[in-house]
Amino acid sequence: MTRHVLAGAFLAVLATLTVLLSGVLGPEVQGVALLGAALGGALGLVPDRTPGQRAAAFAVGFAAAWLGYLLRASALPDAPSGRAVAVLVVLLVCLAVGAGTRGRLPLWAALLGAAAMAGSYEAAYAADPSGFVTTSPVAATAVLLTAGAGFFATALLGPTVEHDRAVEHDDAPPPDATRARPSTRTSEPAAYRPFEPAPEA
């Protein structure tokens, strides 16, 4: 538990520093500090596949979301139908990579990457779709910086989390396979009593 607290405290400090240093890192960092740190922290904590595989899947999802915005800016109509097609393309790319690698690049990590790009850039894109070429790199850099800090703070804790869950599983009481079944035995017969004639009137 101590390691969990230390990792969480380290993550909080890194996220706070990125906000305080936004004058150097760029003002966009302030708006995505919590988003990036939370997604990066989750990416580091979940003990599914190696940290490198998780980071690679995150990058794939991030790139897929960026591709979705590129399609919206260059080829798709600025309407619900265009946004729907972009969302479909992004999710299909994430799914294809997860299935194509047989889970070596986990789908959940790719979805985190897509969420990072969408969460950090959707508002800026909606405000100025024509500025995609100049605004998307800024948003991408800001959220990747904060997500990287979150991942760095928690990535080494993944094996500990996995070990703790295994210990909890081993310590859990086994399911009761011998539950009490309804008794099929009949009640004990009443004690024999000899016949007693009724008293005479």
Average pLDDT, the chain: 80
Please indicate whether residue 140 or residue 157 has the higher confidence score (pLDDT).
140
Q: How far is CA 41 from the centre of its chain?
A: 10
Instruction: Confirm if 60 and 93 have CB atoms less than 8 A apart.
Output: yes
What would you measure as the largest C-alpha separation in the chain, in angstroms?
A: 116
Instruction: Give the Cα separation of 167 and 176 in Å (integer).
Output: 20
| Domains of the chain, residue spans | 9-163
Please indicate whether residue 102 or residue 4 has the higher confidence score (pLDDT).
102
How many Cα atoms occupy the beta-carbon half-sphere of 144 within 13 Å? 15
Q: pLDDT by residue (tens digit) across 38-63?
A: 999 899 888 888 989 999 999 999 99
Residue 78 makes CB contacts below 8 A (sequence gap 6+) with 72, 129
Q: What is the mean pLDDT of residues 6-18?
A: 72
Q: pLDDT by residue (tens digit) across 99-132?
A: 999 999 999 999 999 999 999 999 999 999 999 9
Instruction: Confirm if 19 and 29 have CB atoms less than 8 A apart.
Output: yes
Does residue 73 have a pLDDT over 90? yes
Instruction: Give the Cα separation of 9 and 150 in Å (integer).
Output: 11
Instruction: Give the Cα separation of 138 and 69 in Å (integer).
Output: 14
Instruction: Confirm if 66 and 114 have CB atoms less than 8 A apart.
Output: no
Q: What is the mean pLDDT of residues 147-164?
A: 72
Range picked from 67-71, 140-144, 159-163, 181-185 for highest mean pLDDT? 67-71
Does residue 160 have a pLDDT over 90? no
Q: What is the mean pLDDT of residues 81-90?
A: 95
- For residue 104, what pLDDT is reported? 94
Please indicate whether residue 144 or residue 180 has the higher confidence score (pLDDT).
144
